[in-house]
Amino acid sequence: MELNKQSDWVARSLRSVWHPCTQMQHHETVPLIPVSRGKGAWLYDHDGRRYLDAISSWWVNLFGHANPRINAALKDQLDTLEHAMLAGFTHEPVIALSEKLSALTGHVLGHSFYASDGASAVEIALKMSFHSWRNNGHEGKQEFVCLKGSYHGETIGALAVTDVALFKDAYGPLLRASQTVMSPDARLAAEGETAQDVARRAAADVERLFIERGDKIAAIIIEPLVQCATGMAMHDPLYLQLVRALCDQHNVHLILDEIAVGCGRTGTFFACEQAGVWPDFLCLSKGISGGYLPLSLVMTRDDIYQAFYSNDVTRGFLHSHSYTGNPLACRAALATLQIFEEDDVLNANRAKAERLTQALQPLAQHEQVRNFRQRGMIWALDAIDAPQDFSRRFFATATEHELLMRPIGATVYMMPPYILSEEEIEGLAANTLAVFNKVMAG
């Protein structure tokens, strides 16, 4: 007889699955949670316990688990076309999605190139930038610039423009060197400084590097408004305006990694809209498919596209993935965009964000909290004198309070789905405070 108890699923998983971003030995003390189903903002285990998905399952789920409208779109697509290679073929879902996304940029970004995950999108943008400069006769532009504390994925190229030692150091010998500039993290403000002052200082660091090495630099890559994996480091939109101007002045591409911060997460559909600028390359993944299927893409300008347009095969962009532009994933993305339109999601989110920010005030004003911050549907705070193993202890304690939360170091953050009810907002705030107090008390 097949065993279906909670403990059986845990044992089977530990015997056969290597879990991501995990020191597996830690599961000797922090048990895995086998999920049986999801509904709305909640995940349920095999014993019937539920967990509010306060981090959208690694920032991907926008409109709840088992969303009826996305489900219906996928069921319809499944009966029509599950997959076809995108080399030499095309299909309606990928065409319609590309058209809709381009329209959202005012057609400034006219073509989309598809892959499956965020790191792959970053790899594509880096390769496109390097190759387009070479095609245009600038073979010397081969360097990339990233921000201190930046994270852009864990494939080799993406790691090269990542500045988080925990992920990067073990693979240092495999990586191409990149230039690192000051982060515009508003928490770096000196006494009397504003977030805009920090943005200006950080942009001045970019300018110094561009003056020195602009003829060698292909692109700078930035996660706009919020550097997520480094601890939800938030910066003023002015920084993007200043860097866009520097890129134009020094002939350097601007790559914006909106994998986590796009799709409405920061308050506008694209984060860069808040700065009134468009990049040369824009990377999307995570929320674009509503959290349903692996999908990523790079949007780029027509002049980049034209740099590859030739009878010469070697001038083409020959990067490929077997599941590029998968119809099911594209259809999930189209259903996601339709929900944005039909439900006026961006405006609705502003009201939800205001309500949750109010509900979180006891935490914001807590004597053991500093740097409470919010941008759109992202909230974060830093624990003062956090105990050892704070993150793991917080995760385990949160599950006891019906919450799925996963702090980054001593930074507690929330990136919930966009569908929270008033009751769920109140519960999230109250339970997070209870968990914080329990963990900080030791």
Beta strands in 193-285 (DSSP E): 217-222, 226-227, 233-234, 253-257, 281-284
Q: Which two tokens stand for residue 251?
A: 């002939």
Q: Residue 289: which pLDDT band, with cuts at 50, 70 and 90?
A: very high
pLDDT at position 258 over 60: yes
**Which of 184, 149, 185, 182 is CA-nearest to residue 168?**
149
Judged against a pLDDT cut of 60, whether residue 3 lies above it is answered with no
Would you tell me how many other CB atoms lie within 10 Å of the CB of residue 315?
Answer: 15
- pLDDT score of 4: 66
Query: How far is CA 214 from its chain centroid?
Result: 28
Q: What percent of the chain has pLDDT over 70?
A: 99
1 confidence band (pLDDT: 50, 70, 90): very low
Alpha-carbon distance values, 347 to 39, 353, 418 (Å): 24, 10, 11
Average pLDDT on 88-104 reads: 98
Band (28; pLDDT cuts 50, 70, 90) = confident
- Sequence-ordered list of residues with C-beta below 8 angstroms from that of 86, at least 6 positions apart, any chain: 94, 114, 324, 325
Residue linked to tokens 């409405």: 264
Segment 67-81 mean pLDDT: 98
Instruction: Label residue 163 exposed, middle or buried (CB < 10 Å: 0-12, 13-18, 19+).
Output: buried
Beta strands in 100-246 (DSSP E): 111-115, 143-147, 179-181, 217-222, 226-227, 233-234
CB atoms within 10 A of CB 400: 12
**Segment 80-88 long-range contacts (CB within 8 Å, at least 24 positions apart):** 80/327, 81/327, 82/327, 82/328, 83/323, 83/326, 83/327, 83/328, 84/327, 85/322, 85/324, 86/114, 86/324, 86/325, 87/320, 87/324
- In the DSSP assignment, the letter for residue 65 is B
Of the two residues 4 and 168, the one the predictor is more confident about is: 168
Q: Say whether pLDDT at 53 is over 50.
A: yes
d(CA 201, CA 218): 22
- Chain CA centroid to CA 47, Å: 31
Burial (CB count within 10 angstroms: exposed 0-12, middle 13-18, buried 19+), residue 236: buried
**What's the pLDDT tens digit per position in 361-387?**
999 999 999 999 999 999 999 999 999
Average pLDDT value over all residues in the chain: 96
Please state the length of the chain.
Answer: 442
Write out 346-357 in H/E/C secondary structure: HHHHHHHHHHHH
The label of the residue with tokens 């496109």 reads 128
CA distance 63 to 71: 11
Residue 106 burial (CB count, 10 A): 8
Q: What is the mean pLDDT of residues 397-424?
A: 97
The mean pLDDT value for 257-265 works out to 98
Identify the band that residue 83 occupies on the pLDDT scale cut at 50, 70 and 90.
very high
* Banded model confidence at residue 213, pLDDT cuts 50, 70, 90: very high
Question: Per-residue pLDDT averaged across 338-353, rounded?
Answer: 98
For 117, list phi and psi in degrees, rounded to 5: -140, 165
